[in-house]
Structure 1
Amino acid sequence: MLIRRATSADRATIHAIHREAFRREPGVTPVEAPLVDDLRADGDLVDALSLVAVREGDLVGHLCGSRARVGEDTTSAVGLGPVGVLPAHQAHGVGSALMHAVLGAADALGYGLVVLLGEPAFYSRFGFVAASTLSITAPDPGWGRYFQARTLTGYTSTQAGAFEYAPAFSRL
């Protein structure tokens, strides 16, 4: 499996990956598929953090990071997600490989914090903790322990306060 940066040629396949990965009912496109398109169109997708997993020449997974704000800091936090893997490739290490790659890339780019909304049982293995333990407030208090953060080398304790995802998330 190869993890690489997404290219413009991958856009339709990335949309399809998220459509299939998050499909809840037949014929209904889940919000995660157009979210990636909207982040890109708004200029909030961090290109170096939009990664695809390639297996035997086919794209089987995608995840992305987007610009975010924590407190007054608008430059050192990333909102992570969506993370999508085609159903036939789930539970085969694709999502984990994407997570390791994006965390390494975000750290190399100098970001101090990666934030996501997801299942603690899955994301804790990558060092994510409840964001509240880092004094980071979720956009929705009901998210509770599912709102998580992962510190990177560039993290400082001043990266605290209310978290805001890129505007595309608010339009969901």
Structure 2
Amino acid sequence: MKIRAENPQDYSQIAKVNTLAFGRENEANLITEIRNSNFYIPELSLVVEIDNTVIAHIMFSYIHLIGEERLRVLSLAPVAVIPEFQKQGIGSALIRNGLEKSDAMGEVLAIVLGYPLFYNRFGFVPSVIYGIQSPFNVPEDVFMVKTFKNFQQNYYGEVAYPPAFLRV
């Protein structure tokens, strides 16, 4: 199993991975829209490759946190593993790798909307602890944040996602 940054030759395989994992094309379309925007971070769009085939993908991209200032933070979405490779720790390995890279790149925090029992193991906690509000009407425990070593107290406010996310 090899984890590496995506490259243009992977794009069709990544779309297939996301379509198979989610049973729809919404996430694959989201990835394409993010790649064609200012929110894309090539180093943080990662794949897992086995025998030269992409079997999993994760993407971190920029979103905004609007408080006293408009600040750039990370969104973790989507995470996809093709069904026959799920529940083997591959998604967890991708998340850990992506979080380590994000921290090493000097990012401040990452936000995820997901299952608390899964994401808590990576250090995600409810965002309201940091005064960060979700733009969605969801339970507080499913909108989570993980801070990195460069976290500063002025990171609070409401999250604003690019329009592409609203179509998922």
Question: For this structure pair, what is the TM-score category when the shorter chain's length is used for normalisation?
Answer: over 0.9
Q: Corresponding residue for 2:118?
A: 122
Measure the CA separation in 2 of the matches of 1:89 and 1:119. 19
The TM-score, its normalising length taken from structure 2, stands at: 0.94
Measure the CA separation in 2 of the matches of 1:157 and 1:171. 31
- The code of the aligned residue for 1:85 comes to V
Aligned equivalent of 2:63, options 50, 63, 68: 68
1:133 has 2:141 as partner? no
CA contact 2:71–2:155 (8 Å) conserved in 1: no
Measure the CA separation in 1 of the matches of 2:139 and 2:8. 33
Measure the CA separation in 2 of the matches of 1:143 and 1:82. 19
- The code of the aligned residue for 2:95 comes to M
Q: Gaps spanning 5+ residues in structure 1: where?
A: 24-28
Per-residue deviation, 1:19? 0.2
* Structure 1 moving runs of 4+ over 3 Å: none
- Percent identity of the aligned residues? 33
Measure the CA separation in 2 of the matches of 1:56 and 1:32. 24
State how 1:22-37 maps to structure 2 within 5 Å.
Answer: 22-23=22-23, 29-37=24-32
Measure the CA separation in 2 of the matches of 1:73 and 1:80. 19
The TM-score, its normalising length taken from structure 1, stands at: 0.92
Measure the CA separation in 2 of the matches of 1:144 and 1:31. 24
Partner SS, residue 69 of structure 1 = strand
Q: Corresponding residue for 2:45?
A: 50
- The code of the aligned residue for 2:15 comes to H
Q: Gaps spanning 5+ residues in structure 2: where?
A: none
How many residues align structurally?
166
